[in-house]
Amino acid sequence: MSAAGKSACVAWAPGRVNLIGEHTDYSGGLVLPVAIQLGISLDVASVADDVLLVSERFGAAAPFAADGGGPLGTGWARYAQAVAVELDLLGRAPVGLTGTLASDLPTGAGLSSSAALEVAVGLALCAVAQFELEPLQLALACQRAELRAVGVPCGILDQAASLLAQEGHALLLDCGTLDHRLVEIPAAAALVVVDSGVERSHETSGYALRRQELEAGMPSRVRHVATENERVRAFAAAFARGDLEVAGRALFESHASLRDDYEVSIPELDLLVELAEASGALGARLLGGGFGGAILALTELDRAEQLATSIAAAYRERTGRGGDWFVPVASAGAGIRH
């Protein structure tokens, strides 16, 4: 602790909601995420020789060397250790830290908790070593860390959204060129996320297989990516002119393509989208990589809570589980708070 008894710094990294552009990032396509008000913070108490992390939710992790060396961690600690390795490869001095992780971001719901963890740890490790990286450089390092940690060949979407997003805006990102620009969220628009109660993990789902099928040129997978990129363009243009109906139709079309061409939906997500449409949502689709998690629905600002409660109640009545919901707010990206 510092002399005043306060934290040395706090690294904050938000989760994200990807408005549209699913399974397009790892093929160099277009995505349109927002950072949200929920996320992960790393309260750094002191500089140390090794990295000693404690999660308020999951307990202490085994210490590892400041350069990421030592026995491989398990669980969430794998991500933190892999970030240390990737930063070491970029030339970060081997400075460790002690710190406490806190999160209000649900795991397994498609809100990118793993990327938020990577970004928070990466920001903190850079801060204590006075090692400067551009946001995109750090995002790429965290993307590589996820592959190193759990073998998931993810794209840059989640980490870039956490680091580059700005309040009140979505981030239109070309994952091939890394060109990006901000798209303002219409004042009349609201987003609703409703959870299916089916937890999923990219490690154990068909995520990696879908990428292999895409790279092998499987027509239905290629068709999804091509049409999804067009939907991202249409959605961004509709938001820019405040046309929520056109944006909503793109969401319904996105879900149909993810269900039929990419085959990453499950009956629970299909049911939630059907209930969203029946409850008056302007559009809805599965959120994240699929195989579980939540859906995203678009509605007018003054109908958000009504829509959410209607979908949730109907879903619980039909399935007896899930139905947790929240209204995400497009928020600022990650950073260090002293």
Here the CATH number for the domain that contains residue 289 is 3.30.70.890
208 and 307 together in one domain: yes
166 and 196 together in one domain: no
15 and 39 together in one domain: yes
pLDDT score, position 146: 94
Give pLDDT tens digits along the chain (338 positions). Answer: 333 345 689 999 999 999 999 999 989 999 999 999 999 999 999 999 999 999 999 999 999 999 999 999 999 999 999 999 999 999 999 999 999 999 998 766 667 889 999 999 999 999 999 999 999 999 999 999 999 998 877 889 999 999 999 999 999 999 999 999 999 999 999 999 999 999 876 555 688 899 899 999 999 999 999 999 999 999 999 999 999 999 999 999 999 999 999 999 999 999 999 999 999 999 999 998 899 989 999 999 999 999 999 999 999 999 999 999 999 999 999 999 87
158 in active site: yes
283 and 223 together in one domain: yes
pLDDT score, position 153: 77
Range of the domain at 312: 185-326
- Is residue 137 in some structural domain? yes
DSSP labels for 5-59?
S--SEEEEEEEEEE-S--S-GGGT-EE-EEEEEEEEEEEEEEEESEEEEEETTTE
- Is residue 180 in some structural domain? no
DSSP labels for 168-187?
TEEEEEETTT--EEEEEPPT
What does the pLDDT look like over 117-146, one tens digit per residue? 999 999 999 999 999 999 999 999 999 999
Whole-structure pTM value? 0.91
Asked whether the beta carbons of 271 and 315 are under 8 A apart, the reply is yes
Domain boundary, last residue among 139, 174, 209? 174
Task: Tally Cβ neighbours within 10 Å of residue 151.
Answer: 10
Asked whether the beta carbons of 207 and 289 are under 8 A apart, the reply is yes
Asked whether the beta carbons of 189 and 19 are under 8 A apart, the reply is no
34 bridge partner residues: 17
Here the CATH number for the domain that contains residue 162 is 3.30.230.10
3-class secondary structure, 287: coil
152 and 110 together in one domain: yes
- Is residue 27 in some structural domain? yes
* Residue type at position 225: V
- Is residue 41 in some structural domain? yes
Domain boundary, last residue among 174, 196, 211? 174
Instruction: Tell me how many domains the chain contains.
Output: 2
Domain boundary, last residue among 145, 174, 203? 174
Active-site residue (options: 43, 88, 158, 195): 158
What does the pLDDT look like over 274-320, one tens digit per residue? 999 999 999 999 998 899 989 999 999 999 999 999 999 999 999 99
